[in-house]
Amino acid sequence: MKLKHILPIFLMLSGLLACTPENTPGSHSDPEMDSFIAELMGKMTLEEKIGQINLVSVGFDVTGPRVSEDVEEKIVNGQVGAVFNTYTPVAVRKLQELAISKSRLGIPLLFAFDVVHGHRTIFPVPLGLAASWDMELIEKSARIAAEEASAEGLNWTFSPMVDITRDPRWGRICEGSGEDAWYGSRVAEAMVRGYQGEDLAAQNTVMACIKHFALYGGAMSGRDYSTVDMSLLKMTEDYMPPYKAAVEAGAGSVMTSFNDINGVPATANRWLLTELLREQWGFEGFVVTDYTAVEELIPFGVAKDVRDAARLSLEAGVDMDMVSEIMVDHIGVLIEEQIVDPQLVDEACRRVLEAKYKLGLFEDPYRYADEQRGRDIPLSKDYRNAAMEIATRSMVLLKNENEILPLKREGSIALIGPLASSRRDVIGNWSGGGRAADAVSVEEGMRKLLGKDVVIHTAKGANITNDTLLLYKLNAHGGRLDYLDPAKLLKEALRAARKSDVILAVVGESQGMSGESASRSHIGIPQSQLDLLKALKKTGKPLVIVLMNGRPLTLEWENEHADAILETWFAGTEAGNAIARVLYGESNPSGKLTATFPRNIGQIPIFYNHKNIGRPYGGDMLDKFKSQYLDVSNEPLFPFGFGLSYTTFSYGELQLSSTELGKSGSLSISVEVSNTGSYTGEEVVQLYVQDLVASVTRPVKELKAYQKISLSPGEARELTFTLSPDDLRFYNTQLEYISEPGAFKVYVGTNSRDVQEAGFELVW
């Protein structure tokens, strides 16, 4: 039997993949909707049905290698179902009026955009949002994004990106929640709820799109668009859960990924898009490709020409073709030649029309083109305040030697670095309708907060990079990076440093150094900036590093020599105000990492929940015959879940309600957490589980729960977590989702490394 026949059989057995009474999304059939769409489709020609599955790109942004042509003529001819990259009520109304008043049947258009971490009010990049460990705030950021996007004519966002990755060289790690599938599932659910609200037809909601389906974060060598080759067990356990969680949260659409999966590109993968997504998970929305992905089946080598590419993608389960327009050009002919079943077009068309119906577009096609909402809602004071709050909670304090932070509001500081005065970089990549002019730079935030209390000496200090090829690539993709004389920049920085009490070095990546097509083989701070840091260190002044970046970085020198390191990611519109507040103690950092920071690139891929092995590393590098490197510890620089505070927390002894957990029972784990420092602070108390003996190798730890709490100085609180047998289930070699009796450990602590443990037995 061939592998392609074995895959569905195995996956049918999986509790993750199979539909059961407890987890089936179920039928959401609406008789009124069904009747309306059936009547409409009865009037449609084949060409008009194919037109509904055509997504064109025109307007304010370019997010791929090509833009569509003759869009207005195609809309009038019924050859367009959705428009990508056009927003504002005026622009949307213009195109919608063409569809309503000029096309034969007046079918409204969908309007889509990459609203990834905010629309006009920009929040931290998703990896930063995830570091808040606050699902209410994450959902709130998506809710505000939906309010603003819908006010500017949009009704469909290409978000959330729920791809799990363990390789920080991959640029798009910044768009996801990190390395853990359980935590990523919670983020996915929160984002879908935020975008879609309780009523998709409400004027202030947008349809979510789960991306990128599937396994995009597993790209080989961390190179974007590259091959993904992994076992069924690995994909089922470690990568698929967030997609399924977003489906069960009700996401209206799914986007295919650019990669192949074990030899079959996602856009042509019937097992993935039909057997798994629809038949097993019960997904009822529609599937859209990523940018020109249908056309790219040809260079993949699975389609011989554009006709073949159109056929393969439609037969796999694609419902909408983004930008390549191959389906609209060729599917009709393929049906005439009896190569393609017309029923596939009917199914795809129906799914697209159902989405439009659920969004209320047939009732009022202009409901998202309200100019008054477009004037009143974006960038409101409340939204900017929310952006500042969320930004402060996403920042991660990585080091704070001798409690140099928070800084005192006196004396003088040297604010140095190529990112210190940048408005464009703070809003990061995929910043949607966000504008640099609306953002607050670090320098602006510092001056606003400090006024005349602190003297600020500024200097750029270094170029983002002195690598001229990299600069050329970054500028070719929308950057505005200058190259100035490095010697002159350094001289100015040292002058500022020598007359200041403390050095604040704002360094890291420019916004274009992470994101799509922004993989890096070396993920340290660029050499130009590292040279600056080394020179600043020699002045003998306290050195505080403020990082901006969209991925984990290798920071061994920085961690050894800096007095403090604050990870701020790309923090959004209110970044400068938020960073200033954290540096000066107006806000206490409480973020925790959701992706491991390696010591060097040789450790990649590195993640906390790796499997047990026969010769595990025990921390002693002299014990030769273990799974280890000769030249560096296996341990990361900063582990998953890590993050410091201006205060300190202590943990009491773990208390278990029992040493046994029955098949239908529950187990309570209690711990007292105390604030032993001088500041009110928030702590993310994390609970992990380890299955000590199982029929397949299990991870050394798995995150199963957490609680984020705020404690005043001297305050203590007892926290209780509850585990059930369902929390201990896993996938066996037949991909059955089971639990097995035996010994377990539970770990509770401040991160995945610094924990205390207790044991219990699962008994039948």
| Residues with catalytic function | 290
- H helix or E strand, kind and range, residue 145: helix 135-151
CB-CB contact of 177 with 217 (8 Å): no
Quote the CA–CA distance of 320 and 316 in Å, as a whole number. Answer: 12
- H helix or E strand, kind and range, residue 649: strand 649-651
CB-CB contact of 680 with 589 (8 Å): no
In the block, residue with structure tokens 């200041």 = 500
CB-CB contact of 294 with 326 (8 Å): yes
| 665 CA to centre of own chain | 35
- H helix or E strand, kind and range, residue 722: strand 716-723
User: At 652, which amino acid appears?
Assistant: G
Quote the CA–CA distance of 407 and 420 in Å, as a whole number. Answer: 17
Compute, in degrees rounded to 10, the torsion defined by CA atoms 276, 21, 735, 7.
Answer: -30
- H helix or E strand, kind and range, residue 334: helix 326-336
List the alpha helices (DSSP H) in 337-409. Answer: 342-358, 371-376, 381-394
CB-CB contact of 292 with 303 (8 Å): no
CB-CB contact of 496 with 532 (8 Å): no
CB-CB contact of 179 with 594 (8 Å): yes
Quote the CA–CA distance of 381 and 608 in Å, as a whole number. Answer: 40
- For residue 254, give the DSSP letter: E
Structure tokens at 263: 């030899």
CB-CB contact of 348 with 319 (8 Å): yes
Structure tokens at 364: 């009022």
CB-CB contact of 615 with 627 (8 Å): yes
Smallest Cα–Cα separation from 75: which of 50, 99, 108, 96?
A: 99
Beta bridge partners of 672: 718
Structure tokens at 345: 């077009």
Quote the CA–CA distance of 384 and 722 in Å, as a whole number. Answer: 37
Quote the CA–CA distance of 296 and 48 in Å, as a whole number. Answer: 25
Coil, helix or strand at residue 598: coil
Quote the CA–CA distance of 729 and 337 in Å, as a whole number. Answer: 50
- H helix or E strand, kind and range, residue 473: helix 468-476
Structure tokens at 379: 């960038």
| 31 CB-contact burial (10 Å; exposed 0-12 / middle 13-18 / buried 19+) | exposed
Structure tokens at 707: 């609680």
Coil, helix or strand at residue 236: helix
Quote the CA–CA distance of 114 and 433 in Å, as a whole number. Answer: 9
CB-CB contact of 511 with 424 (8 Å): yes
Strand order in the sheet with 455-459: 396-400, 564-567, 543-548, 502-508, 412-416, 455-459
| 662 CB-contact burial (10 Å; exposed 0-12 / middle 13-18 / buried 19+) | middle
Tally of CB atoms within 10 A around 304? 11
- For residue 215, give the DSSP letter: T
User: At 38, which amino acid appears?
Assistant: A
User: At 5, which amino acid appears?
Assistant: H
CB-CB contact of 462 with 493 (8 Å): yes
| 588 CA to centre of own chain | 24
